[in-house]
Structure formats: structure tokens, C-alpha cells
Chains A and B, each alone.
Chain A
Amino acid sequence: MTTPLPPRTPAEVDFPIERTEAEHVTRREFAKFLCLVSGGMAVGSGWVAVKDKIFPPFTFEGERFVCKVDDVAVGATHPFQLEGSKIPFILIRLTDGTFRAYEQKCTHLACAVYYSPDKNKIECPCHHGYFDANTGNVLAGPPPRPLPHLEVVIRGGDVYVREPEEKAS
């Protein structure tokens, strides 16, 4: 008599030749996917909160020496890092001769920003974000927050930075 084709192997069950079966998402599969994704999101948010407690953001006490005033020409930029952190900072000498110190990481997606003296703006080349060179406030583009800044102190030809007062207090 007739012999039907052999029963389907596990591989054939997983990869069916019936298009409707291959495209079908069962309620159980969908529920699993939903639980996995929302569970992942919950764990991720928890980790962000815990990480913030375990590793608090970098702060420092007092003043730190950066460079000599004469090392930075008007309109020029001096990159620096502070001991105990890997955050890149830039010291910029504005066209009016005053100094500003900002974090170099754009608040949008952490691209390196640069100072363009002809526009007197800090520019992020990744998505054309612009910051005010005087205050660090966002002028245009996607960045959500102003650039974090450090207070610059000039004492006897040396440039020092310290935590801004509103943050230190």
C-alpha cells in the first residue's frame, strides 16, 4: 500500500515549508518576546540606577592647574584631563581674551566638540549641534543639555580650574 513521507523532523518543525506556518507568530511566542524585552528594559533601568549609586559622577576638590596663560593663543583651544578621571576637557580662549573650560563630550551622543573662533560658538560636527562659547548653552541642533563647564581661575599667569559653585555647594 502507500507509505506517506516520514514524519517531520525537529528541524522541519522549526523551519516549516508552509509559508503561512513560517510567518505565523503564536500567542505564546509573542508573549515570550514581550516578557523578554520588557524584562530586559526593567533590568537595564535598574542597572543604570544602581550604577549611579556605585560609581558617582566625577567631582574634585579645590583648584587644579591646567597650563600657563601664554600657552593658549586667543581663539585657540587647549585640551586637558584632570587626574582621577578620563573625561576630556577643553580650555578655550575666546576672541575677547577670556578663558572658558568645558567638557569636550557633546551632550547629545558624546562626540568631540570644537571651538570655532570665527563664529564664537562651540560646534559638534556629528549632528551640527551648536553651543554658546560664553555660557555653554545649546544654540541649535540635537543636544538636550548645556555643555558641562568648569570655572576658570587665573592667578599670576597660571590657569586653574575648579568645580563651578552651584555644583560644589
Chain B
Amino acid sequence: MTTTIFRTDQEFFLDPQRCIGCHACEMACAECETNGQLPMIHVDYVDRFLSPQTSVQVCMHCEDPACARVCPAVAIEKDEFGVVHSANTARCIACSNCVNACPFGVPRKIEPMDLMMKCNMCYDRTSAGKRPMCATVCPSGALFYGTREEMSRKRPQSTPVNTFRFGKETVKTRVNIMMPKGATELVVEA
């Protein structure tokens, strides 16, 4: 068993409204060679025709990860800290089941490598007590990694929410999304 100094008191807080679309997180993510110098974070344009608003998406690290549940090769594993790891390269058969299953659209099949790759919350950094790359570079606070107390001090008008409702399906995640104060869940589709 490898020993880590993963800070279990720290959490990821995502605030897509604060995203300014600078792509710094993508650049920082792609600096890392453990993911083949490809960005594992997605900056999406909400409606590019109408507005410059962007939204940022990291892996939400679901409590019951659909990507891992549908993997026929058990290539995706969740560890004791709740981090859902990227596909084990020795096991991944590039079937894209996880790509279709993820409710947040996080895993992507990387064609040249014939491999699924996704955000693993910079496990190489977080397991050494450091913050994920994207959270260290975000200039607008759309990506924040720290303790819950720090977050409530910084955003007194917001509540971190980690429950998502997709129709009849409820997904609980390890990563939080910032919602107006008092919110308990994010209803994506009623």
C-alpha cells in the first residue's frame, strides 16, 4: 500500500459563472506529462452565438461513478479518497462506454492513443498535498480547491452543492458546484 498525504479536509469547488474563458486551466492541465500533455479540463461555450459566457468542467468524481460502473474492463477505479481515476492504460479497451455514460461529459476518447482519458483531480499533485493545476492558475475563482471554511468565508452568498438531478436520476459527487445560498441540489433536468 502506497502512503499518500492526500488532504481529506480540502475539496474542489466549481463556480462556472465566474469562468471568463481564459483557458489558463487548460494550459496548466496540459503542462502535465502524466496526461500526455493534453488538457483534461473542458472549457465549454454556453451559447457562442448569443454570449461569450463559458463554463468549465472538471471530473465531478461521483460517489457512484457511472463511468466505472459501465466499464467492461474495470479500468476505472475509485480510491479511498473518492477520486475516480482515469482509465488504467493496461486495461482500457477504448470502447467509449464511459464517454456515453458520464452525465457531465467528462471522459473523452483520445483517438491517437486509443484510450479514454479524463481528469483525475491531479492525483499526482493532490496525493502529495498540493492543489490541482487548474485550481492554482484560475484567475477568477471559477476553480477553487481548499477547505469548506475558506470557501464559505470567500463566498458568503453561495452554498456548495454536490447533488445533481437528471430527471429521475440523482447523482452525488465529490466535487461541489457553487449555487445561490440555500440551494440543496442542482436540477439539470426536472
Contact = CB atoms under 8 A, between A and B. Distances in A.
Interface of A: 1-5, 12, 15, 17-20, 22-23
Contacts of B137: none
Interface string B71-109: 100101111100001000000000000000000000000
Interface of B: 1, 64-66, 68-69, 71, 74, 76-80, 85, 165, 168-170
Contact of A12 (B66, B69, B76, B79): B69
A20 B2 CA distance: 12
Given A5-B66, A17-B65, 12 more contacts: A2-B165, A2-B170, A12-B69, A17-B74, A17-B76, A17-B77, A18-B78, A19-B77, A19-B80, A19-B85, A22-B74, A22-B77
A17 B165 CA distance: 23
10 contacts: A2-B165, A3-B169, A17-B65, A17-B68, A17-B69, A17-B76, A18-B77, A19-B79, A19-B85, A20-B79
**Secondary structure class of chain B's binding surface, majority of residues:** loop
Contacts, number: 33
Contact of A15 (B74, B78, B79, B85): B74
A2 B169 contact: yes
B69 A5 contact: yes
Given A5-B66, A5-B69, A12-B69, A17 B169 contact: no
A5 B80 contact: no
Interface centre among A4, A19, A23 (most CB of B within 10 A): A19
B117 to A, nearest CB: 18
A160 to B, nearest CB: 63
